[in-house]
Amino acid sequence: MVWSFINMLWSFLALCFLVALCVHKILKRYETCSLYMMFQDLIRYGKTKQTLKRDDWLRVFDVPKRWFWHFYAISVCWNGLLLTLYLKSIFQRQPFPSWLTGLLDNLTDGLSTASPGPQLSTVLVQLLLWVHCLRRLLECCFVSVFSDGAMHVVQYVFGLGYYIVIGLTVLCSDRLGKGTGSLFFQLDWFHMAGFALFLGASLLQHQSMVLLARLRTGKSGTVETLAHRVPKGGWFELVSCPHYFAELLIYVSLSLVFGGLSVTWWLVVLYVLFNQALAAQLCHDLYISKYESYPSHRKAFIPFVL
């Protein structure tokens, strides 16, 4: 395993969220401690934050949760730019701008400073990542019904930075690629398997977002309430947060498109696992505490497991 800066970054982020998940589960009895309250304020957002009994001064750091769409707007623009630059390097043989080459050199510690050739896996991952963020942007704007929930400004800034770094991570993985020859002749079974999983996970996530939105809309599609209700139907019958599980599957699918050989991308998957597990656990705990009749067989995140 090559311990470049980008690998260390994703390992560190994965470890941070694993620790946060453990701290949340172990130290619940210290919920009156001010330090623990600050920790909860930092990791919660939306409905899981509304029930948090926190000091007024902590609310200064709140920004609207509906600003989630900013993340995907940034990603569509930024990762669209990176995809365009990569395609130009393939079909027009234009080198990357010096600022992008410098960024990649710093993130990979100068390892494999040039790709051995056009990488079909890189093209597909960058394209699928762009499609994913475009879909999420459209869902935020036209499907989801946001309440007056909030998130911490640190979460907001982190989210903006995340979608900048994730696109660069794709290109970092490209530098360690093994593909040779034309893009068409690089097509392999794992590209198709990854695409199939990506499609299925995307449909699962979209269905889940639609079901969540319908909890607040009438048959005509107009918003009737902003109250939180118990989600039902689809994979909500198995887990409290199937949309988070779908997010994990989407990133696993991109790892398959890389042939399962990119250590860097598996570290991204590990980060997504712990990040989404924490968010799902917070939602699951809320549902259990708020609704006495909440189905006991439902898991928080991964069906029959977690």
Q: How far apart are CA 180 and CA 300, in angstroms?
A: 43
HSE, side-chain direction, 13 A CA sphere, residue 251: 22
Q: What is the pLDDT of residue 257?
A: 94
Q: Residue 69's domain spans which residues?
A: 37-181
Q: What is the pLDDT of residue 70?
A: 95
- Determine the average pLDDT of the residues in 285-301: 89
**193 shares a domain with 170:** no
Give the residue with greater pLDDT, 133 vs 175: 133
Nearest CA-CA partner of 256 in 178, 197, 214: 197
Q: What is the pLDDT of residue 88?
A: 92
Nearest CA-CA partner of 145 in 210, 240, 205, 207: 210
- Give pLDDT tens digits for 70-101: 999 999 999 999 999 999 988 888 889 999 99
**171 shares a domain with 53:** yes
**301 shares a domain with 220:** yes
**268 shares a domain with 156:** no
Mean of all residue pLDDT scores within the chain:
87
In a domain, 10, yes or no: no
Nearest CA-CA partner of 9 in 267, 296, 269, 294: 267
pTM: 0.92
Q: How many domains does the chain have?
A: 2
In a domain, 28, yes or no: no
In a domain, 31, yes or no: no
**201 shares a domain with 296:** yes
In a domain, 6, yes or no: no
Give the residue with greater pLDDT, 224 vs 300: 300
pLDDT bracket for residue 180 (50, 70, 90): low
Q: What is the pLDDT of residue 210?
A: 92
Q: How far apart are CA 241 and CA 8, in angstroms?
A: 29
- Give pLDDT tens digits for 22-75: 998 887 666 667 788 888 888 888 888 877 777 778 888 889 988 999 999 999
**305 shares a domain with 198:** yes
**199 shares a domain with 135:** no
Give the residue with greater pLDDT, 203 vs 178: 203
- Give pLDDT tens digits for 103-131: 998 998 876 544 445 688 899 999 999 99
**221 shares a domain with 162:** no
Q: What is the pLDDT of residue 194?
A: 96
Q: What is the pLDDT of residue 113?
A: 44
**131 shares a domain with 86:** yes
- Determine the average pLDDT of the residues in 16-26: 91
Q: What is the pLDDT of residue 175?
A: 56
